[in-house]
């Protein structure tokens, strides 16, 4: 019988979701490099998105500089991907740093670790272009 080849050790993946966006983060020992879709986080042009992604890193202080984090975000829009990446990064840091990081994240913002299940309501058939609960305006006179 032939022996199976042993797979190289790949770091585990941690997922984050926000509406239609999904982000998958890999964390491995390193020097503190954080990349989102192969772009270093410091080079992201939109300041709001950059700060949104950096929130979990700022909350844990310099502890993240022992790791390299690579995030792959797909689906949704820019802010949805940023929130998904932020959640994936926070979950990966909790897995590496333990309960202290988890307490910090939960006290700051629960959505760093917990999925937000809210969705938009589907549009209803008779007047589907106006929205889910919009009805025809009636005149009183």
pLDDT for residue 74 is more than 80: yes
Most confident of 1-5, 55-59, 115-119: 55-59
pTM score, whole prediction: 0.82
Map out the domains of the chain as residue ranges.
13-112
Count other C-beta atoms under 10 Å from residue 67's C-beta.
20
CATH for the stretch 13-112: 3.30.230.10
92: CB partners within 8 A, 6+ apart: 14, 25, 26, 27, 69
User: Residue 6: what pLDDT?
Assistant: 65
Residue range 29-68, pLDDT digits in tens:
989 899 999 999 999 999 999 999 999 999 998 888 899 9
pLDDT for residue 139 is more than 80: yes
Confidence at 9, pLDDT banded by 50, 70, 90: confident
Torsion sign (Cα): 50, 56, 59, 61: negative
């Amino acid at each position: 019988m032939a022996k199976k080849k042993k797979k190289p050790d790949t770091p585990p993946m941690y997922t984050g979701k926000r509406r239609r966006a999904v982000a998958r983060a890999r964390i491995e020992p390193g020097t503190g490099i954080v990349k989102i879709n192969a772009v270093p986080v410091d080079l992201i042009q939109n300041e709001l998105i950059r700060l949104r992604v950096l929130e979990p890193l700022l909350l844990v202080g310099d502890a993240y500089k022992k790791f390299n984090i690579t995030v792959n975000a797909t689906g949704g829009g820019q802010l949805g991907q940023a929130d998904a990446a932020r959640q994936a990064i926070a979950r990966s840091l909790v897995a590496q740093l333990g309960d202290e990081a988890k307490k910090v994240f939960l006290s700051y913002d629960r959505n760093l670790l917990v999925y937000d299940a809210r969705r938009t309501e589907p549009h209803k058939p008779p007047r589907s272009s106006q929205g889910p609960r919009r009805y025809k305006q009636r005149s009183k006179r």
